[in-house]
Structure 1
Amino acid sequence: MSLDSSQLSTAHSGKTDLVCYPTSHHILFWVNTVSYILPPIMTTNGNDRTTQWKTTIIVSTSLQNHDTSRMLLAQHHRIRFSDAVKSGSIVFPQSGIAFLIINPQELPENLEEAGLFDKIKKFVTVHRNSFLLLQAPFYGKKELDIMSVIQHRFLGSNLRVLPVRNNTEIVKGMLTIAKATSKPHVDSMRDRMSLARAHIIESSSVWEMLRDIKLG
């Protein structure tokens, strides 16, 4: 049994999700709760192209002296510092996504009094595709509790929470996601996901059963 890309998009509309690993350039996606991994986007000679990709990035002035900003500048991205974006945020306008960096170790016990939820809510309201980067060198009880509370508080929203350990993971994760969602790479990613889903459907025992029932 085979389906073309348009049929696959219709058959799995709203049932496919995509996440990038911050520590690598692999793409993880789900089809009906089953996870699959796509390899990194490669050049024709097999090299990873993420480090060669350049884009425009709007960075909050609160991060002007942050190591993340220095690392992005060192990779020759076009950086614009702005007071107009939320404090602690980094926006990729060409990809239509934004990241908010939060250090859970710097937060008090009472998250409501710290204004964290209001800050995240305003961030999610402004940016349709938003990611919260929780930065901590290790995840103990406090860090895991904060991540759990945020996930439950914003369940069903467009916010995705990603734990990261250091600035290197922040930069690598942001660039991997931003590249995968920018033109023309997003078109290539859709084609690769469509091919992967076609292979999954063709090798699925459920689809085989449905085909046999229909033929019968």
Structure 2
Amino acid sequence: MAANKSQWRTTIIISSSLQNHETCRMLSTQQHRVRFSDCIEAGSFIYPLSGTAFLLVEPQDLGASEQPRLIEHIKKFVQVHRNCFLLLYAPFNGEKELQTLALIQSRFFGSNLKILPVRNVAELVKGMLTVAKATSKPHVDGIRQRMSLVRAHIIENSGVLEMLRGIF
């Protein structure tokens, strides 16, 4: 018996600097509404319905000479977006990629930046869509409702509650 689920679709505002990136083609193929903007940070994906923003950092951005510029770019992105994610695109985990990851983690520790290391474009798209869907308004309300029902069920069936009733 196959479940007949409709595919989730959303609007995504993407930096014009990524217009020819494979990620945009993949999102369009999945029938998401893709809009390009020159007004957002280069390398950004913004999901307005979920209030999340993603910044793509690719291997060519990871060079030692580029790191100060990269840190400033990320710093500006974090200041603008409250719920932000860094997509660290590293097709392989070499020493250079791990050093850059450690540098970014230590520099932005305690900030609202979350880092998602991804190895290919499919992981990149899947990661963004998973986060955006889980935090979008209709879905987050459903998740909260299910969590509330689970919590009520656990409390009702708790052995501790029965023991406390016996004491009082």
1:119 alignment partner, one of 73, 88, 95: 73
Relative to structure 1, is the Cα distance of residues 196 and 167 closer, same or farther in structure 2, using a 3 angstrom cutoff?
farther
Note the C-alpha offset of 1:197.
5.4
RMSD across aligned C-alpha pairs, in angstroms? 2.8
Taking only the aligned residue pairs, the percentage that are identical comes to 59
Letter in 2 for 1:59: I
Note the C-alpha offset of 1:140.
1.8
3-state SS in 2 of match to 1:100: strand
| Greater Cα radius of gyration, structure 1 or 2 | 2
Relative to structure 1, is the Cα distance of residues 195 and 83 closer, same or farther in structure 2, using a 3 angstrom cutoff?
same
Contact 2:15 2:40 in 1 (8 A): yes
Q: Using CA pairs under 8 Å that are at least 6 residues apart, name the structure with larger relative contact order, 1 or 2.
A: 1
Structure 1-normalised TM-score? Answer: 0.67
Find the counterpart in structure 1 of residue 129 from structure 2. Answer: 175
1:72 alignment partner, one of 27, 34, 38: 27
List per-residue Cα deviations over 1:141-194 (Å, max 9, x = no partner): 211121111111111111000110111111111111111111210111223334
In structure 2, distance between residues paired with 1:201 and 1:103: 47
Relative to structure 1, is the Cα distance of residues 129 and 70 closer, same or farther in structure 2, using a 3 angstrom cutoff?
same
3-state SS in 1 of match to 2:115: strand
Letter in 1 for 2:16: T
Q: How many pairs were matched up?
A: 166
3-state SS in 1 of match to 2:86: strand
Unmatched tracts of structure 2, length 5 or more: none
In structure 2, distance between residues paired with 1:48 and 1:129: 32
Relative to structure 1, is the Cα distance of residues 108 and 53 closer, same or farther in structure 2, using a 3 angstrom cutoff?
same
Unmatched tracts of structure 1, length 5 or more: 1-44
